[in-house]
A = this chain, B = another copy of it.
Amino acid sequence: MSIEGTNEAPASQRIRYGMVGGGEGAFIGAVHRIAARLDDRYVLVAGALSSEAERSRRSGVALGLAPERCYGSFEEMAQKEASRADGIEAVVIVTPNHLHVPVAQVFLEAGIHVICDKPLAANLQETVGLQELASAKSCLFAVTYNYSGYPLIRHAREMVSQGELGALRVIQVEYPQDWLSEKLEDTGQKQAEWRTDPARAGGGGCLGDIGTHAFHLACFVSGLTPQSVLADLTSFVEGRLLDDNVHVLLRFAEGAKGMLWASQVAPGNENALRLRVYGEKGGLEWSQENPNVLKWSPLGEPPRLLTRGGPGLTNAAERLTRIPPGHPEGYLEGFANLYTEVAEALVAQRNGTGPSASVMFPGLEEGIAGMRFVDAVLRSSQAGGVWTSLE
């Protein structure tokens, strides 16, 4: 449905959306706006960008919103937008974690589709009833596990599902960072503040922030069913209220085993998300910091370097690629791919047709799986590190 030779779509297909959170001083809101804008599939028309009314209005007007569509509360926004003929079709939720579910519920009730940052909730309990609500309202619900939008990740998933690796044996996934190696939350840095605050982040610190990304990526590519986890969480920085290092052993229902490491106290690591998947017939390695290369090692043959846009890729990867190989696409393009997938689905829904089979994005099921993972890891670690079922 895109314009020939581009990922842009005809103007008639653009989605009107609003944003909750993401005003002045926020970080991830701007990322979502770029992601929405990149392929020209969305128009931002409303916002409750801050919980302070004046700040919300100021931020919204700066971004080009009509003043009357800059709302002081998300409840007001849901209500008023739902009643407009030109009201938003979807809401993007980019608040701290504890507001994800409350905000989503209000918009779902109003019949508005939801695109929500991860993790889905502050805790597993909150998510009860969410799927039923979305279903009852015929609303789409996307959770932005954005790393699943990288083209080579799509290709890796395709290779696994086509059986090119044979039965999987070992999954190694890791996501180390270093930005919380010191007690940054005491300096007034806003991102550090809420992400280490149990009231706003939920029970997991590093776990919820990036451990869930690693978990989702491993599941997305492998297609395996996580069965049980054993976790050892640590708060290395003195006085920190949530974990800053996550060690997890994984067992999958199909017999594969895995390790997951997430850390925010590993100096020299920026966003070193890395996935390795090994099966009977070959292995795959991918690193987020250089996402345009996928190393594919068929057993007994020299490894191949698959590149985004290069030879040997499946349509699953090609369709989410904009520019020639060797011209790196990065984090924002991968993020935009999710937005573009959601736009395809929203347009199909608008037209009363289903989206094409190739459209794919993480939704409530994946969001809840992530919360189930968080919950099991917390229970395992609190029990001293024991095997804990994910079911």
Does residue A33 face the partner (Cβ distance < 8 Å to B)? yes
Contact assessment for B299 and A178 in the assembled complex, using a CB-CB cutoff below 8 Å: yes
Say how far A383's CB is from chain B's closest CB, in angstroms: 11
Partner of A385 from the list B234, B269, B297, B387 (CB cut-off 8 Å) is B387
Contact assessment for A282 and B267 in the assembled complex, using a CB-CB cutoff below 8 Å: yes
Contact assessment for A259 and B257 in the assembled complex, using a CB-CB cutoff below 8 Å: no
Say how far A181's CB is from chain B's closest CB, in angstroms: 5
Contact assessment for B62 and A10 in the assembled complex, using a CB-CB cutoff below 8 Å: yes
Contact assessment for A268 and B247 in the assembled complex, using a CB-CB cutoff below 8 Å: no
Contact assessment for A327 and B181 in the assembled complex, using a CB-CB cutoff below 8 Å: no
Does residue A141 face the partner (Cβ distance < 8 Å to B)? no
Residues of chain B with a CB closer than 8 A to A322's CB: 30-31, 34, 332
Does residue A310 face the partner (Cβ distance < 8 Å to B)? yes
Partner of A302 from the list B6, B31, B271, B307 (CB cut-off 8 Å) is B307
Say how far A162's CB is from chain B's closest CB, in angstroms: 16
Which of A291, A292, A312 gathers the greatest number of chain B CB atoms within 10 Å? Answer: A292
* Closest B residue by C-beta to A5: B25
Please encode chain A, from 290 to 302, with 1 for each CB lying within 8 Å of some chain B CB and 0 for all others: 1110011111111
Residues of chain B with a CB closer than 8 A to A249's CB: 230, 232, 247, 249, 385
Does residue A177 face the partner (Cβ distance < 8 Å to B)? yes
* Closest B residue by C-beta to A25: B5
How far is B249's CA from A245's CA once the two chains are assembled, in angstroms? 13
Partner of A326 from the list B3, B7, B272, B329 (CB cut-off 8 Å) is B272
Contact assessment for B169 and A64 in the assembled complex, using a CB-CB cutoff below 8 Å: no
Q: List residues 297-351 of chain A with CB under 8 A from any CB of chain B.
A: 297-307, 309-312, 322-333
Say how far A28's CB is from chain B's closest CB, in angstroms: 10
Contact assessment for B263 and A63 in the assembled complex, using a CB-CB cutoff below 8 Å: no
Does residue A364 face the partner (Cβ distance < 8 Å to B)? no
Number of A positions contacting B (CB below 8 A): 101
Q: Known contacts A24-B5, A169-B245: does B181 contact A299 (CB below 8 Å)?
A: yes
Does residue A38 face the partner (Cβ distance < 8 Å to B)? yes
Does residue A283 face the partner (Cβ distance < 8 Å to B)? yes
Say how far A180's CB is from chain B's closest CB, in angstroms: 11
Does residue A126 face the partner (Cβ distance < 8 Å to B)? no
Does residue A54 face the partner (Cβ distance < 8 Å to B)? no
Say how far A388's CB is from chain B's closest CB, in angstroms: 11
Does residue A236 face the partner (Cβ distance < 8 Å to B)? yes
Contact assessment for B299 and A182 in the assembled complex, using a CB-CB cutoff below 8 Å: yes
Partner of A3 from the list B8, B63, B298, B331 (CB cut-off 8 Å) is B63
Residues of chain B with a CB closer than 8 A to A172's CB: 174, 261
Enumerate the 4 nearest inter-chain pairs by beta-carbon distance, A residue then B residue, closest first: A270-B326, A268-B297, A11-B64, A271-B326
Give 18 new A-B contacts, CB below 8 A, not counting A11-B62, A30-B322, A249-B385. Answer: A3-B59, A3-B62, A4-B24, A11-B63, A14-B64, A40-B63, A169-B265, A170-B265, A178-B297, A265-B278, A267-B281, A272-B326, A301-B311, A302-B306, A304-B305, A330-B333, A384-B387, A385-B387
- 14 A–B contacts, CB within 8 A, in A order: A30-B322, A169-B234, A169-B245, A178-B297, A230-B232, A230-B385, A245-B257, A249-B385, A259-B261, A267-B281, A270-B327, A271-B326, A327-B331, A329-B330
